């Protein structure tokens, strides 16, 4: 018997395509509706309605009304990154437990507003990440066991092998980064240091149990014309100096269909005094080589050239890569189930909104660093962090 009514905020061509179905597949949950803010663009409202139709639930075009429903205990929140601060606060103020798409928000200020609202409301929250996956748990266990000795470094990658590569214009000088980007989401592409880099940043910080005190970053537009058209990066690399002086590195990017035998490089290398080890989404796997036709570049969907969404792949009939076969469950299902487990036990999830604030702070400092060409200090201590505008904001309620 389901005992959590789940409201989905956001629809097709968001990660709600996966999260929503993961919630629907858990016998403890019942998806009751899809909703979003009133006044959103018609194309977004239409895509939201489409997911509601596919899942056989109503679409409620007024988020306040949807949040007032007494049969909603959980919100799965996939509003556009630029709206997440406002929508996340609304959901928390309504007293709902919240499962957040990554990243938590598009600015440190918005992220802190969400975490403050969640704490004031006394609800549980979790941001989707890779920490629930078997390979991440294996890394955590190996570190805790001491088999690698004292740990001196963590190096995580999230390089998504989708999109038609080789289309970025050749440059004679580096693309200039903006120190304080405000828009991250476009129909054709996203800023990848935030969108993909958040996986790697959250991974190294979770494994280290530390906070970053300084960030040095590089961004580039190496692969895709779609990113060039919006002057956004398709790759970012961050070196984090942690608050105990140790060093971690993280990459996030989109590298093209032809750059990997499966979905991309998703892993972490851990350096210890007694050894190093790589923990990867691709291990273990089957490798199958046969006389099947090789993978070929799929057609490009005009509304999703980076192949971000399963719905557009379904529309095109995109054939998957078949040589490397994963033996793991979808990370979304594993992560979502862990969130519901926490609700069942009334335990706060590890990757909660407050924890996820720091990931946004780190990546925003990364943009500032990439623009300036020098390390940027975070000066984060005891809940006080320099915000995106360079001011210092005290953590409310502490």
Partner 1 sequence: MESAFEKLTEAVGQAIADGRVGVPSVVRWYVRTKPAKGGAAPTAESMLDAAGAWLGGKPVAVQRFGKDEAQVVLHAKWAAGAAAMLTAASGRGEPANDLIVLGSRGSIYFGRTPEVANGT
- Which spans of this chain sit near partner 1 (rule: CB under 8 A)? 133-135, 137-139, 142, 148-149, 152-153, 155, 157, 159, 165-166, 168, 170-175, 216, 218, 220, 222-223, 235, 237, 239, 241, 247, 249, 251, 253, 255-256, 258-260, 265, 269, 271-280, 283-284, 327-328, 373, 375
CB of 139 or CB of 198, closer to partner 1: 139
Closest CA to 241 of 269, 207, 213: 213
List strand residue ranges (DSSP E) for 243-280, in order.
Answer: 247-254, 264-272, 275-280
Burial class (CB in 10 A: 0-12, 13-18, 19+), 393: middle
| Beta pairing class for 74-77 and 59-60 | unpaired
CA quadruple 143, 146, 151, 155: dihedral sign: negative
103/77 Cα distance (integer angstroms): 11
Instruction: Provide, rounded to whole angstroms, the least separation between the CB of residue 53 and partner 1.
Output: 35
CB of 22 or CB of 218, closer to partner 1: 218
CB of 188 or CB of 281, closer to partner 1: 281
Give the count of beta carbons closer than 10 Å to the beta carbon of residue 150.
11
CB of 93 or CB of 333, closer to partner 1: 333
CB of 247 or CB of 393, closer to partner 1: 247
Instruction: Provide, rounded to whole angstroms, the least separation between the CB of residue 175 and partner 1.
Output: 6
Instruction: Provide, rounded to whole angstroms, the least separation between the CB of residue 350 and partner 1.
Output: 18
Instruction: Provide, rounded to whole angstroms, the least separation between the CB of residue 134 and partner 1.
Output: 4
Instruction: Provide, rounded to whole angstroms, the least separation between the CB of residue 226 and partner 1.
Output: 14
Instruction: Provide, rounded to whole angstroms, the least separation between the CB of residue 270 and partner 1.
Output: 9
Sheet with 4-9, strands from edge to edge, namely 59-60, 29-35, 4-9, 74-77, 97-100, 125-127
CB of 61 or CB of 138, closer to partner 1: 138
């Amino acid at each position: 018997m389901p005992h959590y009514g789940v409201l989905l905020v956001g629809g097709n061509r968001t990660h709600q395509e996966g999260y929503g179905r993961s919630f629907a597949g858990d016998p403890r949950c019942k998806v009751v509706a899809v909703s979003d803010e009133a006044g959103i663009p018609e194309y977004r409202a239409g895509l939201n309605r489409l997911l509601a139709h596919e899942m056989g639930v109503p679409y409620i075009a007024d988020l306040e009304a949807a949040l007032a429903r007494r049969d909603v205990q959980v919100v799965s929140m996939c509003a556009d990154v630029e709206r997440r601060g406002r929508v996340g606060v609304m959901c928390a103020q309504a007293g709902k437990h919240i499962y957040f798409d990554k990243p938590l928000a598009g600015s440190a200020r918005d992220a802190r507003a969400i975490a403050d609202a969640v704490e004031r409301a006394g609800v549980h929250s979790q941001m989707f990440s890779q920490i629930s996956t078997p390979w991440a748990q294996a890394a955590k266990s190996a570190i805790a066991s001491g088999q690698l000795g004292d740990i001196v470094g963590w190096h995580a990658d999230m390089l998504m092998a989708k999109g038609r590569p080789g289309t970025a214009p050749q440059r004679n000088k580096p693309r200039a980064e903006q120190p304080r980007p405000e828009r991250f989401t476009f129909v054709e592409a996203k800023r990848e240091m935030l969108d993909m880099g958040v996986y790697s940043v959250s991974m190294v910080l979770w494994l280290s149990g530390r906070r970053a005190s300084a960030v040095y970053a590089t961004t580039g537009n190496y692969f895709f014309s779609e990113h060039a058209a919006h002057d956004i990066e398709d790759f970012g690399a961050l070196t984090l100096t942690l608050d105990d002086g140790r060093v971690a590195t993280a990459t996030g990017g989109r590298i093209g269909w032809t750059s990997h035998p499966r979905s991309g490089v998703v892993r972490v290398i851990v350096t210890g005094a007694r050894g190093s080890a790589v923990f990867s989404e691709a291990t273990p796997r089957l490798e199958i080589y046969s006389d099947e036709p090789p993978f070929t570049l799929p057609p490009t969907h005009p509304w999703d050239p980076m192949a971000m969404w399963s719905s557009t792949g379904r529309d095109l009939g995109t054939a998957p890569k078949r040589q490397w076969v994963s033996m793991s469950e979808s990370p979304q299902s594993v992560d979502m189930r862990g969130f519901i487990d926490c609700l069942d036990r009334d335990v706060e999830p590890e990757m909660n909104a407050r924890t996820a604030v720091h990931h946004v702070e780190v990546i925003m400092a990364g943009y500032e660093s990439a623009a300036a060409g020098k390390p940027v200090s975070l000066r984060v201590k005891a809940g006080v962090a320099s915000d995106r505008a360079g001011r210092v904001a005290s953590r409310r309620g502490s």
